Amino acid sequence: MTKTPASTAALQLADKKHHAHPFTDPKALAENGSRIISRGKGVEIWDNDGNKYLDGMAGLWCVNIGYGRNEIAERVKSQIEELCYYNSFFMSATPTQIELAETISSLTPEGLNHIFFGTSGSDANDTASRLVRHYWDLKGKPTKKTIISLIHAYHGSTITGASLGGWPAMHKMGSTLQAGYTHIMPPYWFEFGRNQSKEDFGLKAAQALEDAILLAGADNIAAFIAEPVMGAGGVIPAPDTYWPMVQEICKKHDVLLIADEVITGFGRTGEWFGSFTYNIKPDILNMAKGLSSGYAPISATAVSDDMYAVLSAGGEISHGFTYSGHPVCCAAALENIRIMKDEKIVEYVRDVAGPHFQNKLQEFADHPLVGEARGVGLLGALELVRDPKQGEKFAPEKRVAIRCVEKGFENGIIMRAIREVLEFSPPLIITTQEIDLLFDRARYCIDEVAKEEG
């Protein structure tokens, strides 16, 4: 029996009454009603009234292989029929968990061969935070507890994720910021370093890490966590000088390096992991979103051989989730990775889509509202300013980036705004023609806002 589709008005009413949304102002929701998305195929999604949008954000940076892949539905169905669930606690495992752990180990940078599963980027960062502190306890250095991270970074919404992140509003809500977290200047040249060359600024931003370590004392610092390229915080590729110096500093002061690859993992930068793009050798690498292309909630924390040797000698690992290695989510991830390999999606991003996307993005560099166009692979951002020459910013209450996003929805494209930055992260299968369409429409939207601003 086919169900009659509910009307948008009826859905919005029920939504307002019963659905508490993440990162949403309930008052604005009550006034305007939610945007109800009902269907997706390839790079496109449709709302409940049949309006089509080119999704320039791949959902939330996650639907890397695009919407509506039937092969994943089939694989998930057969996994549910075979074994819908079993846990990985108390010495148990399922074949699907084992196959995925082995597959991930074959893709991660050398030496990251021990895979702990979760269901979200946030819980992966909780896992990493607990493991690094446990590691230092086992090494007889129990004071090494503080984790350093970057201002503007997003690492999730659990208490640990929000504490790691550098978003003041998240720290404030519920008095979330815990002791044992320190935030330092990110390698964000446009915001913090325009008075010097990118190379010099990269060194200065890396020096901020060493300064923070020295200030607290290396004996008190467990780890530094960062994304190879900051994603949600504004798509901020670091200057070339940054990562080599950061890694030297971590080694010098015995500070573990956690790469949060929740966005940059699985092809986004044109390699399987952003760590390859920037030659980063982390002790822990976290992944989520692109691991299953958002088809099922799954995350993984890849731990280095050296770290795992210490952890293994330390007795039971008192950590885990009912759904760690959920077989159905593992099946979705395995099929996603199979598709990515068979269709050479990472190579496509590296050789075709990524270069085309970056060229189109750079065409905005001399737009009268754009201070900087930046990105890597299929990640991009436009920094909107009132006067690019003087670097004069718009007042936040002007909401210029959000207004561009709203115009995007009116014109059939999806972008995202943070501060005065417009962000792009389309499905990795986007064609060059679709990239042209995305940026043609984005230009129209920015031009319209520029006209309104006079």
Residue 159, judged by CB atoms within 10 A of its CB (0-12, 13-18, 19+), counts as middle
Compute the least distance from the CB of residue 140 to ligand PLP, in Å: 31
Q: Could you tell me the CA-to-CA distances from 82 to 78, 85, 331, 336 in Å, in that order?
A: 6, 9, 11, 19
> Torsions phi, psi of 135, nearest 5?
-55, -50
Compute the least distance from the CB of residue 264 to ligand PLP, in Å: 8
Q: Say how far apart CA 397 and CA 15 lie, in whole Å.
A: 28
The residues that touch ligand PLP, with contacts defined as CB under 6 A, are 60, 120-122, 125, 154-157, 161, 227, 231-232, 260, 262-263, 288
The pairing of strands 52-55 and 413-414 is parallel
Q: Specify the residue, 268 or 360, whose C-beta has the smaller distance to ligand PLP.
A: 268
CA dihedral 440, 364, 228, 348 (to 10 degrees): 40
Q: Specify the residue, 97 or 157, whose C-beta has the smaller distance to ligand PLP.
A: 157
Compute the least distance from the CB of residue 298 to ligand PLP, in Å: 10
Q: Specify the residue, 334 or 418, whose C-beta has the smaller distance to ligand PLP.
A: 418
Q: Specify the residue, 97 or 286, whose C-beta has the smaller distance to ligand PLP.
A: 286
Q: Specify the residue, 156 or 375, whose C-beta has the smaller distance to ligand PLP.
A: 156
Structure-block tokens of residue 82: 């075979």
Q: Write out the H or E segment, with its range, that includes residue 32.
A: helix 26-32
Compute the least distance from the CB of residue 204 to ligand PLP, in Å: 23
Q: Write out the H or E segment, with its range, that includes residue 10.
A: helix 8-18
Q: Say how far apart CA 338 and CA 436 lie, in whole Å.
A: 28
Q: Could you tell me the CA-to-CA distances from 68 to 39, 43, 73, 218, 289 in Å, in that order?
A: 8, 9, 9, 49, 16
Q: Are 147 and 180 in contact (CB under 8 A)?
A: yes
| Residue with nearest beta carbon to ligand PLP | 121
Q: Specify the residue, 128 or 369, whose C-beta has the smaller distance to ligand PLP.
A: 128
Compute the least distance from the CB of residue 288 to ligand PLP, in Å: 5
Q: Say how far apart CA 392 and CA 386 lie, in whole Å.
A: 5
Compute the least distance from the CB of residue 452 to ligand PLP, in Å: 30
Q: Specify the residue, 157 or 292, whose C-beta has the smaller distance to ligand PLP.
A: 157
Structure-block tokens of residue 218: 């290396």
Compute the least distance from the CB of residue 272 to ligand PLP, in Å: 16
Q: Specify the residue, 225 or 331, whose C-beta has the smaller distance to ligand PLP.
A: 225
Q: Say how far apart CA 63 and CA 65 lie, in whole Å.
A: 6
Compute the least distance from the CB of residue 311 to ligand PLP, in Å: 22
